[in-house]
Homo-oligomer: A and B are copies of this chain.
Amino acid sequence: MDTIKLTPRQEEIIRLVKENPPITSEALAERLNVTRAALRPDLAILTMTGILEARPKVGYIYSKKPSYSLIYDYIRNIKVADIMSNPVVVDEGTSIYDAIVHLFLNDVGTLFVQNNGYLIGAASRKDFLKIAMGGTDIHKVPVGIIMTRMPNIVYIEKEDSAYLAAQRIIEHEVDSLPVVERAFDGSKEAFTIVGKVSKTNITRLFVKLGENG
């Protein structure tokens, strides 16, 4: 996905650096038959984008892992707090039927379940669909029976990056992460729910990144 458009001179610089690492800007200028000043913008762009690495007093080397650091930095600097939305939370004793009604009324894909104000579980459309297909009486059975229970819930915190949230969503194959704050329930570590980040939030962010101003 190397889509940064480089000029022919920038391509030539990369080729020279690859062939003669490390190479100083003086040597590059001489090879290209231009002044060092004329090269400066190209070198600035190539190092800012992470294609070249500038080693002081040594010269330029080709970055083994071109990080296109502008995009990389841009994406990694967006926080969960900037993109999270309101979580829909029910109590453990809520019937599966009522929980599904909450799911539809709020048009969300995942419900979070709490007890005494602390996060104890999560249930997704997939969990509900599975139970609704079986012979279970969804009016009588509480959501606590079918939910995924702590500590098996993948969560995120407000100050984490949106990138980390997206990574966890993909790695753990979930639709949504609760955004939590650490608390203590007696002497035990516990979590309160302050938000959620779903694939929808990430998709919305992606659209925002591609918007023209």
Contact = CB atoms under 8 A, between A and B. Distances in A.
Interface of A: 1, 3-5, 35, 37-38, 40-45, 48-50, 63-68, 70-78, 82, 97, 100, 103-104, 107, 109, 125-126, 128-130, 132-133, 138, 161-163, 166-167, 169-170, 173, 198-200, 202-213
A210 B72 contact: yes
A3 B132 CA distance: 46
B207 A65 contact: no
B166 A206 contact: yes
Given A67-B212, A72-B211, A166-B207, 13 more contacts: A1-B209, A3-B74, A3-B77, A37-B38, A40-B41, A63-B213, A68-B74, A162-B206, A166-B210, A167-B207, A170-B200, A170-B204, A199-B200
A69 to B, nearest CB: 9
A206 B1 contact: no
Contacts of A202: 199, 202-203, 206
A211 B82 CA distance: 20
Contacts of A75: 206, 209-210
The 10 closest A-B pairs by CB, nearest first: A65-B213, A41-B44, A37-B37, A199-B199, A3-B77, A163-B210, A132-B132, A75-B210, A202-B203, A125-B125
A82 B1 CA distance: 9
Contacts of A67: 212-213
Contacts of A133: 97, 100, 132, 138
A42 B130 CA distance: 58
Contacts of A211: 72
A128 B78 CA distance: 35
Contacts of A132: 129, 132-133
Given A49-B70, A203-B202, A210 B3 contact: no
